[in-house]
Amino acid sequence: MTMTPIFDQAGIVGTGAMGRGIAQIAAQAGSQVWLFDAAAGAAKAAQASVFSQWDRMAAKGRFDEAQLADLKRRLVCADAIGDLSGCGLVIEAIVERLDAKAGLFDQLEAVVAPDAVLASNTSSLSVTAIAAKLKHPQRFAGYHFFNPVPLMKVVEVIAGLKTGAETCQRLTAFARQMGHTPVAAQDTPGFIVNHAGRGYGTEALRVVNEGVADFVTVDRILRDQVGFKLGPFELFDLTALDVSHPVMTSIYHHYFEEPRYRPSVITAQRLAGGMVGKKSGEGFYKYTLDAKGTAQTALITPERPAPQVDLMPPVWVSPRAARRAELLLLLKNLGATIETGATPTSQALILVAPLGFDVTTVAVVDRLDPTRTLGIDMLVPDEASRRRVLATNPATRADMREAAHALLARDGKAVSVIRDSAGFVTQRVVAHIVNVASDICQQGVCTAPDLEIAVTLGLGYPRGPLAMGNHYGPPSILEILFNMQTVYGDPRYRPSPWLRRRAAMGLSLLHEEEAL
C-alpha cells in the first residue's frame, strides 16, 4: 500500500461488483475513497462487502491490525453526489447505458473541481459519446477494469477524441499505483480486450453451427491442442450469455456489420431461452446444484473410446500434407504400414493434412478416392498437443473412419473425429484470433505490446494473439485464411493487411513500423 497516492480522494459512483472492486484497490493504493450509489443502502452494503474482504485478507496475514484499521477509515459512504466535490478523481461504474452515464457526468462536472479527472468504467460505449456534452471533455477518459477487479490485473485507459494527454497519463500512473497494468486504447468498439475476444467465441460458434462438432468436442480440442484454460463454450457459461451476447452484437453493429465480428443465432436463441450459463444452472453445459441451488460442476458426457479394428489397412499420406515428415514418423511409431507409391492402392487409408482447405476440396482436386480419405490437423506439432483431430468428408466410409481413429489412438493419446471443415477447429479459431488481433493493430487501436498484455491478462490466453501467430508461423496463418476464404467465399476470413504484409516479408507479427 502506498501512502502518497496520485489522487488523495477518489469517488466511485455505482457500487455493484465493479464499483466495489475498484474502491477496494483504490483504497489499498492509499486514496480516501468515497462510495456513492443512487440506490438506498447500496453504498453501505458495498462498504460492508469490502470490509469483509479485507478481514479475510488480514486473517491470511496480508495486513496487520493497524493497516486494516487504516484501510477501513479510508473507505467511506457519500450520502449525496455533492459529497464527491473534494475528489480529484471520480470513476463511474453504473449501468451500461449511454443516457445514464452522460447524465451522471453532467451532474459530476458541476460538483468537482475544474482540474478533477472524470472516468467511466464502460466496457462497450463510446467514450467520446459519453463526453459529448461535457464542458471540459479533455479531463474525461475511459477506465475499463475487468471483473473481479482485484484479481484481473489489467485496465484499459481509453482516450476519447477530446481527451487530454495529461488525463490519460494520470490514470495510467494511478493504475500502476493500484497494482494493475495499464494499456492505452483508442476509442473504438470493444476497445482492446472485448474487441480481440471476438476471434475465439464467434468462430467456435460457427464451427458448431456448421455441424462440424458439438460444444464439448470444440472445447476439448482447443484446450488440448492450443492450451486454452477454458474452451469457448465453458467461457461463455462462466461469463454468461446475458453479458457475452450483447457485447458480440454491439461490436458487430458498431463496426457497421463487419463480417469478422458477426455474432451467432446460437447465442441469441439460448439467451432467449434463459440458458445463459453457469449462474442459471444451464448454458452450453448443464450443472449440478449444491444445497443452496448454486451451480457447481458441469455434467459432461464421457468421450467415446477408440474403436477396435481387427485388420488395419495400409496408410498413404498426401505429398502435400502439412508437416508430412512429422506425420510419417508418427504413423511409423504407431505401427502403421505406410505406402510410398505416387498414388494410393485400392485398399489404402488415405490421409491428407491441409491448411485451411477442407478434406472434400483436397480429395477432389488431388483426385483421391473420397470414400477412403480423412484429414488430420497438423498445425500443432504432435508432441505439443494432447489430442489429435481427424476430419471425415461426406463420402468417408465408416470402416476407414474407424481404422484411422483406432490407429491414431494406439499410443493412448485422445482423438477427436469431426465432420469436414475448412481449417478443422484449431486452425480456423487460431487464425481468426490472430487475424482480428492483427487488424486491431492495423487500425491503430493500440500498440502491439499493449495488445499482447491486454489479452493475456484480460482473457487468460496461453500467449498473446500476435505471439500465437508467430508461434504457428505467420505464413501458415495467412495460408489458412486465404484457403478458408476460398472454401467459404466469406469476407470474414480476408487477411488483415498487418498480417499479410508481415507474413509475406518474414517479419514478426509484433513488428511495428517506424513513425513517419
- The residues carrying an active-site annotation are 123, 144, 156, 194
* Nearest residue to 401 (alpha-carbon basis) of 302, 309, 304: 309
SS3 content of the chain, % helix, strand, coil (to 5): 45, 15, 40
C-alpha separations of 508 from 251, 335, 474, 499, 503 in Å: 28, 39, 8, 9, 8
> Which residues partner with 373 through β-bridges?
350
Beta-carbon contacts of 480 under 8 Å, excluding residues fewer than 6 positions away, are: 355, 356, 379, 423, 427, 428, 431
How large is the angle between the packed helices 241-254 and 198-209, nearest 10 degrees?
A: 100
Distance CA 374, CA 395 (A): 10
Distance CA 178, CA 381 (A): 41
Which residue in the block uniquely carries the three cell numbers 468428408?
393
Distance CA 135, CA 102 (A): 12
User: By the 8 A CB rule, do 399 and 425 touch?
Assistant: no
Give phi and psi for 184, each to the nearest 5.
-90, 130
Rg over alpha carbons for the chain, rounded to the nearest Å, is 26
